[in-house]
Amino acid sequence: MDLDSARKMISDVDRQIVDLLNARASLSLNVGAAKRHSLKEQGSDGEPEVYVPGQEKRVFEKVRGLNQGPLSDDSVCAIYREIMSASISLQSDVTVGYLGPAGTFSHQAAMNRFGDSLAYVPYGKIEDVILAVAKEEVTYGLVPIENSTYGAVVQTLDSFVDQPQVKLRAEVYLPVTQSLLSRYQLSAIRKVYSHPQAFGQSRRWLDEHLPNAARVEVSSTAKAAELASTENYTAAISSEVCATLYNLDVVAKDVTTARDNTTRFFVLGQSSDLPTGDDKTLLMFTVDHREPGALCSALNVFAKHKINQTAINSRPSRQRQWHYMFFVEIIGHAQDANVASALEEIKSYCLDLVVLGSYPRQSH
């Protein structure tokens, strides 16, 4: 086939693609209308949930299965990410809050999950993102919950204690590579800015290569890059995206201690999604520590109902001295029969129990 004929045929296919995209978009408007109608029938005049992670997971699985190439599955999914992003924005003006400024890993995770068609709102602190969701200032919020190298993000856990009404809607995994960014050579760097999590993930590299540089903690890795772009003899542990955004050089690429360094985020909203058959649930509770074995009795309830626990974290309760808030993640949806009965039973061992939400399990 010659060049002109190939381009002519591409142009014909483009016409069909645009028609099909718009046919799909019209159906998405029908979906939006149907959601509103069913809410009204239930007696609510609230706004329906536009972002439905369970349905998106089904769409991605479906298109992967349909794909015969030559496009890779990842390319097809990236295109579908944008199709569904546009579909969400047609149904409603959705805003997503994240820990800013632009270029943070939270920003990248939010863009990966929601695509280009939505409005993103940066906040200075994780607490402020969660508060913005609680006050319905934004439709959804995205916050980091744990890093595979450095562990739990305690600001997020503590903010759940302060805003227990927000609901988890989805989980997102993002591979994270930290780099040293600066306008200076390694030997000239006197001070390094970063977020405590990023310092934790690259401590060994810094001990070895910049043992005498002061380490100054700031609210995000993007903020660190912003500071390194203005202050003399400084550097930032940050992402390569920030090198471009803040006009810095990548002095050392990938200074992260562990390979496969990954951060997990939660998407927060006003409600959780319906069960998909492959979900996880995060609970938060305190137990009366004067009762011998109280925590053990509570956790045993899950074993009894054959429910797998995937994570446990604790934080000081900040209400009763030497009491702890436990965060337990289990396999299953709060509406699954076995989980619902376990939750009923566990209440008798807990001083307070909050189901923070259920969300479709994502591979990572």
* Residues near ligand PRE (CB under 6 A): 28, 31, 50-52, 55-56, 59, 84, 87-88, 91
Are 274 and 267 contacting, i.e. CB atoms less than 8 angstroms apart? no
CA 122 to chain centroid, in Å, comes to 14
d(CA 73, CA 41): 39
| 150: enclosing H helix or E strand | none
Instruction: In angstroms, give the least distance from the CB of 49 to ligand PRE.
Output: 8
Closest residue to ligand PRE: CB criterion: 87
Q: Minimum Å distance from CB 117 to ligand PRE?
A: 11
238 DSSP β-pair partners: 179
Q: State which residue, 52 or 176, has the beta carbon closest to ligand PRE.
A: 52
Report in angstroms how near the CB of residue 84 gets to ligand PRE at its nearest.
4
**Please, what is the minimum distance in Å from the beta carbon of residue 142 to ligand PRE?**
15
Helices (H), the chain: 3-41, 53-66, 73-91, 105-114, 126-134, 154-162, 196-201, 203-209, 221-228, 240-245, 294-304, 337-346
Nearer to ligand PRE, 91 or 286 (CB): 91
The residue behind tokens 């993002």 is 174
The answer to whether 322 touches 289, Cβ cutoff 8 Å, is yes
- CB closer to ligand PRE, 170 vs 198: 170
Choose between 52 and 325: whose C-beta lies nearer to ligand PRE: 52
Please calculate the CA angle 131-134-136 and round it to the nearest 5 degrees.
110
Please, what is the minimum distance in Å from the beta carbon of residue 30 to ligand PRE?
10
Residue type at 76 in one-letter notation: V
Beta carbon nearer to ligand PRE, 84 or 142: 84
> How many whole angstroms from its chain centre is CA 303?
28
- Residues 340 and 189: their CA atoms lie apart, in Å, by 55
- Backbone φ and ψ of 118, nearest 5°: -100, 170
How far is it, in rounded angstroms, from Cα 268 to Cα 171?
Answer: 9
Burial of 232 (0-12, 13-18, 19+ CB in 10 A): exposed
Residue closer to ligand PRE (CB basis): 17 or 312: 17
d(CA 54, CA 271): 13
User: What is the smallest separation between the CB atom of 54 and ligand PRE, expressed in angstroms?
Assistant: 8
295 three-state secondary structure: helix
State the nearest-atom distance from the C-beta of 90 to ligand PRE, in Å. 9
Q: Which is nearer to ligand PRE, 28 or 358 (CB)?
A: 28
By C-beta, is 84 or 153 nearer to ligand PRE? Answer: 84
Q: How far is the CB of 136 from ligand PRE (least distance, A)?
A: 19
Cα 213 from Cα 234, distance rounded (Å): 9
Q: Nearest distance from residue 78's CB to ligand PRE, in Å? A: 15
- Nearer of residues 87 and 238 to ligand PRE, judged by Cβ: 87
